[in-house]
Structure 1
Amino acid sequence: MAGVSKCIKYSMFIFNFFFWVCGCIILGFSIWIRVTGSQQGMDSSMFAGVNLLIAVGAIIMILGFLGCCGAAKESRCMLMLFFVALLLILILQIIGGVLGAVNKSKVESAFQLALSTMVESLQSTTGEHKEYQEEFQKFERTYKCCGLTNGPEDWGENFKPSSNMCQCEPEDQSSDLCKKYQNKYIYKKPCGEVIMQQIKDNLVIIMGIAFGLAVVEILGLVFSMSLYCQIGRK
């Protein structure tokens, strides 16, 4: 009877160790996006994809552990569970990518709707959204922007010319970042553009991770099935 290839066995173990590390990275990165997005006041409906990515990262960590144990113990049962679960994840990734590309316009519409809801919170004078308004002012100062879509008009009656709301830093007043409004210099870029750019940047990173992960998953399928068949022949 043919024995189990040590090369395949240890390659499977090392592969799954790095697979587990990838799961940790995805999980950590997704949680970071979730936390920073919440701090910026983004609507909870925008986090559906991020929440899914958190779940995927956790599952990948479990699968990496399962694959390591299956390779080390030469367990056909664990290897088959690893293979089936990995195949399902790869199929779901492909479906998710296709749906994301097809529904791109719907995502943009949902983002615009979320911005409208956020503008209403900025214009609220009841004090219910005071904490959110204060956090958003910090966001404006950090990213040198004003309002969400229409600049200071998004603040409605809450915009006070005597305060430092949207006010440019002295070194920025002569640059293209600022414009004069009610006798003071304010940042002219809407914060909605900043948020949208951050989302696009994050999506590029996520797409890169997903593509790299798909390659790793295919290698995992090949290694696990090869080892599974060798253990069966043994």
Structure 2
Amino acid sequence: MAVAGGAKCVKYMLFFFNFIFWVCGLALIVLGVMVHQSLLNTAIIKGYTGSPVVLIIVGVVIFFIAFFGCCGAWKENQCMVTMFAVILSLIVIVEIGTAITGYVFRGKLPEFLDERFKSMIAGYNKTEENRDTLDAIQIQFKCCGANSSDDWINFSANKTSVPDSCCKNMTKNCGVGAIHNAEKIYMDGCQPSLDKFLMKNLLWVAVGALVIAFVQITGIVLACILMRAIRSGYEVM
């Protein structure tokens, strides 16, 4: 027995919202890929790329279950609509958890960056990974050291040199004896700029997850209303 009246309106609304879910899934995939790529390019935090990956996975799942929800709504299949609501509820929980994780990590970011910078500066001459990462950061953000060029005081035996990546015009050995030469090198540290950059990325992850979760909650409510209408129709029969 087909639903009628207000329930029929809910049916079409749920069908429409599934198209919105499809768009949301695509948006999550794009957002997750963009943020994940940004964090990978900033190798100093390569161990903290979990939230964007979760968003990508959730986006792919939403992308496919949107079709499942459309079929359930159109055919008025109670089982399909119920499964759609359950799966969507689980996804919302994951998204909220991702947003909370991003928010919590934002508060710990300065401390984490400080520890990472100290460790990588100390190991600059020991491993190619540390050297390439710090050089890339200093070139990208036009900075030197974590808080200032003084962080490179132990870089060389003469205590007055910095890596060439600190130079405004980078050439071979341009950082030799230039630790306090503002005309040749950038004096400001990288940590404030990097902190601002990462805060912005994490904020986008949190906001994106919460906004899309809110839209999905509306879909869950509509699915529950349609389930009740379908069940009532069977009971009348």
TM-score interval, normalised by the smaller of the two chains: 0.7 to 0.9
The structure whose Rg is larger is 2
Partner deviation per Cα, 1:144-169 (whole Å, 9 max, x = no partner): 22222343524842698587421236
Residue number in structure 2 paired with 1:168: 168
Q: Verify: 1:81 aligned to 2:80, yes or no.
A: no
For 2:83, the aligned partner's letter is L
Give, in whole Å, the separation in 2 of the partners of 1:2 and 1:75. Answer: 10
CA distance in 1, matches of 2:35, 2:47: 14
1:33: Cα distance to partner?
1.5
Q: Quick one: structure 1 residues 66 and 154, their matched pair in 2 at CA, closer, same or farther if it must change by over 3 Å?
A: farther
Alignment of 1:26 with 2:28, yes or no, is yes
Consecutive unaligned residues in structure 1, runs of 5 or more: 170-178
Q: Does 1:153 align with 2:146?
A: no
Deviations along 1:29-70, one digit per CA (max 9) or x if unpaired, are 112222221221133332232333233223322332321221
CA apart distance, 1:207 = 2.9
Q: Give the direction of change, closer, same or farther, for the CA distance of 1:9–1:155 in structure 2 (3 Å limit).
A: farther
CA distance in 2, matches of 1:46, 1:19: 27
Taking the aligned partners of 2:15 and 2:215, their CA distance within structure 1 comes to 13
Answer yes or no: is 1:201 the counterpart of 2:206. no
In the alignment, the residues of structure 2 paired with residue 223 and residue 163 of structure 1 have an alpha-carbon distance, to the nearest angstrom, of 60
The alignment partner of 1:3 has SS state of coil
Segments of structure 2 that go 5 or more residues without pairing to the other structure are 170-177
Report how far residue 204 of structure 1 moved.
2.6
Q: CA deviation at 1:218?
A: 2.0
| TM-score between both structures, scaled by the size of structure 2 | 0.74
Match of 2:173 in 1: none
Shift of 1:19: 0.8
Inter-partner Cα distance in structure 1 for 2:55 and 2:162: 44
Residues 126/207 of structure 1: CA separation in 2 closer, same or farther (3 Å cut): closer
Residue of 133, 136, 146 corresponding to 2:134:
136
Q: Which of 58, 61, 66 is the aligned partner of 1:59?
A: 61
Q: CA deviation at 1:83?
A: 0.9
Any residues of structure 2 matched to 1:9-24 within 5 Å, and which? 9-24=11-26
* SS of residue matched to 1:157: coil
Figure out how many residues of one structure are paired with residues of the other and give that number. 222
Asked whether the equivalents of residues 152 and 161 of structure 2 are also in contact (C-alpha less than 8 Å), the reply is no
Question: CA offset at residue 15 of structure 1?
Answer: 0.8
Query: How big is each residue's C-alpha offset from its partner over 1:148-207, in whole Å with a ceiling of 9 and x where there is no partner?
Result: 2343524842698587421236xxxxxxxxx98147432233222222112221233223
Q: TM-score, normalization: structure 1?
A: 0.75
Partner of 2:217: 218
Write the letter of the residue equivalent to 1:195: L
Deviates more, 1:17-26 or 1:82-91: 82-91
Contact 2:44 2:116 in 1 (8 A): no
- Name the stretch that deviates more: 60-69 or 77-86: 60-69
1:72 corresponding residue in structure 2: 74
Q: Is residue 12–residue 71 contact of structure 1 (8 Å, CA) maintained in 2?
A: yes
Q: Quick one: which amino acid aligns to residue 3 of structure 1?
A: V
Amino acid at match of 2:220: L
Q: Deviations over 1:124-150 (max 9, x none)?
A: 36553x255235323322322222234
The question of whether the paired residues in 1 share the 8 Å contact of 2:65 and 2:84 is answered with yes
